[in-house]
Amino acid sequence: MIFTAHLLLYLGAHGVSLACQRRGKFRFIGEFVADEAGYQAFSDALGQFKHARLSILVDSVDEQYQAESLPHVIGSARAQMLARRLRQVSRGSEFAAAWYQGREDHGRRDDRYLFVSLNTLDWAKTWLALLAQHEIHLAVLTTVPIVSHALVRELQKDAMSLLWVTQQSGGTRLSFFSQNRLLFSRLSTLESSQLAGQLADEIVKTRYYLTSHQYLPHQNPLSIAVLDTQQNRQRLCEILNQETGLNLSCHVRASDVLAQHLRVNVSDLHRHRDIPHLVALGRYSVAVNLATPAMTLGCRQMQWRRGLYSAAVGCLVVTAVVGGYLSYYRDQLTSSVVQSRTQLVQQQQRLQQALLQIPITPTAPANLKAAVEIADKLNASARPMPDFVVLSEILAHQPHITLTGLVWQHHNSDVQANTPSVLYVDGEVRPFQGNYRDAMADVNLFMAELRQHSRIEQVDAIHMPINRDPQSSLRLSAQEGAATATFKLKLLLKVSS
């Protein structure tokens, strides 16, 4: 279904040529003359191509080509302008289309269009009826010059002004291209172009026509390319390359070179003159399709049907692949879960055994540990007597220092932390006879001894026998006399290890 045949039909006044392209491979089927036998043979040939796609290449004198420049507009204005102009140009032709060919290089840079029209296909009704009988769906309806444009682009890329001379079963066609733009085309009958001299005259006349219609300035050279499928056009170029005063240069495209380019058999090319254009019709996309939407309805339906069937098949394939992967992934996961469950059962058995080995306890084992550790910390917390002993050791060396009071503090509320204990020492220097200097020296000596003890971390004087701070007042009454030399110290004791 994907590689359905693509039928290629050359439609001329005297008959048709039929070819087929399948999987990119071209096959010429035959030529059919417009008589009863030809119609019957054509009908028989179509029998094997039911529902095929069809492209028709018309070659008739009913074709019209008119090149025009129109103001550059876009959107709906452009569509309306082109439709109006097409109606005016085609003058009631059944098939017409506008071909956009780029913009002018100068001035307002107008848009260039070629209006292509085909008056009627009434003369080909029999052929079309046969095609309809075999349910062959029309996709493209175009003309020889349009297909020639594709060939020129492929074979003659560098010509500025080119007269493209081709010979089909319907006659010899002269198509003029300026910078690869089709501007003009005419069909000569076989009778008027059979001999080289006759065809040379036709070409010279065409040259004059092009000049008179300003398609080609008089002094500009004109290249003439002749597709010589029958190997009989060498004489034509010899005539044209003679000094005619028309600045012509003719060269022949030999059939073997052409066959190589088009990838067809040379002998087929010699036998059937329509092959080059049929090959191009099948291989290249054409710029203008003259078929009306009603004519291509069947083809579009077929494309939609194929698209929907292809989408359904694609959907099935994707589903099969993704679903297969998901099934595989689920199986992997399931085996992993089964393995984990086995491990879980083993671990639960281990846990039961481990729980049985734990002795019965009045509370959770963590609580046992916490209770014992708290008790140990509380039992090891600071006590006043060891600190008093430290003080007694130092006082033994200080005969002039007498204690009058002690305050011992230790806050052990935070059992997690080791807090040091604090000792406030109230004392006085005895005996004291008013000599503050000696008293201060005794207290300082006492403090120095305290600082040297390993258990004492810090010693601060809160109150001394006399205040020597130059920032505060110092007062003494002579009547009261100097009774005592008291002091107060604060000791910070290290945590006993």
Partner 1 sequence: MKQSLWIRQLLLPAAIFLLVLIVSISWLYQRLVMVESVQQQGQQVQAALTEANQKINQSVQDKQWAGQYLKAYTQLQRSGFVGDDQRLTWYQTLVATSSRLKLSDVSFDIAPQQLNSPALPSGTLQLMVTPVHFTAEIPHEGVFAQLLEDLRVQEHGIFTVSECTLTLASESLPLQTHCLFEWHTLTPEAKS
Site for partner 1 in 367-396 (CB under 8 A): 367-372, 374-375, 378-379, 381, 383-385, 388
Least distance in Å: CB of 52 to partner 1?
17
Least distance in Å: CB of 408 to partner 1?
5
**Which of residues 222 and 493 has its CB atom nearest to partner 1 in the complex?**
493
Q: How many residues bind partner 1 (CB under 8 A)?
A: 71
Residues 394-433 within binding reach of partner 1 (CB under 8 A): 403-416
**Which of residues 195 and 326 has its CB atom nearest to partner 1 in the complex?**
326
- Residue 79: phi and psi, rounded to 5, are -60, -45
**Which of residues 244 and 346 has its CB atom nearest to partner 1 in the complex?**
346
Question: How far is Cα 149 from Cα 164, in angstroms, rounded to an integer?
Answer: 9
Residues 332-361 within binding reach of partner 1 (CB under 8 A): 333-334, 336-337, 340-341, 343-344, 347-348, 350-351, 354-355, 357-359, 361
Question: How far is Cα 117 from Cα 99, in angstroms, rounded to an integer?
Answer: 11
The answer to whether the CB of 112 falls within 8 A of the CB of 69 is: yes
Does 297 interact with partner 1 (rule: CB under 8 A)? yes
**Which of residues 100 and 329 has its CB atom nearest to partner 1 in the complex?**
329
Does 484 interact with partner 1 (rule: CB under 8 A)? no
**253: closest CA among 153, 145, 165?**
165
Does 363 interact with partner 1 (rule: CB under 8 A)? yes
Least distance in Å: CB of 411 to partner 1?
6
Least distance in Å: CB of 46 to partner 1?
21
- Concatenated DSSP letters for 276-344? HHHHHHHHS--S-----TTTTHHHHHHHHHHHHHHHHHHHHHHHHHHHHHHHHHHHHHHHHHHHHHHHH
The answer to whether the CB of 222 falls within 8 A of the CB of 246 is: yes
Does 492 interact with partner 1 (rule: CB under 8 A)? no
Residues 277-296 within binding reach of partner 1 (CB under 8 A): 294
Question: How far is Cα 162 from Cα 393, in angstroms, rounded to an integer?
Answer: 128
Question: How far is Cα 289 from Cα 444, in angstroms, rounded to an integer?
Answer: 119
* Lookup result for tokens 């501007």: 183
- The piece of 10-18, 78-86, 220-228, 300-308 that touches partner 1 (CB under 8 A) is 300-308
Q: Is the dihedral of CA 232, 235, 241, 245 positive or negative?
A: negative
**Which of residues 47 and 362 has its CB atom nearest to partner 1 in the complex?**
362
Least distance in Å: CB of 359 to partner 1?
5
**490: closest CA among 440, 451, 441?**
451
**Which of residues 107 and 359 has its CB atom nearest to partner 1 in the complex?**
359
- Residue 287: phi and psi, rounded to 5, are -80, -30
Residues 306-335 within binding reach of partner 1 (CB under 8 A): 308-309, 311-312, 315-316, 318-319, 322-323, 326-327, 329-330, 333-334
Give every CB contact of residue 310 below 8 A, 6+ residues apart in sequence. 2
Least distance in Å: CB of 446 to partner 1?
17
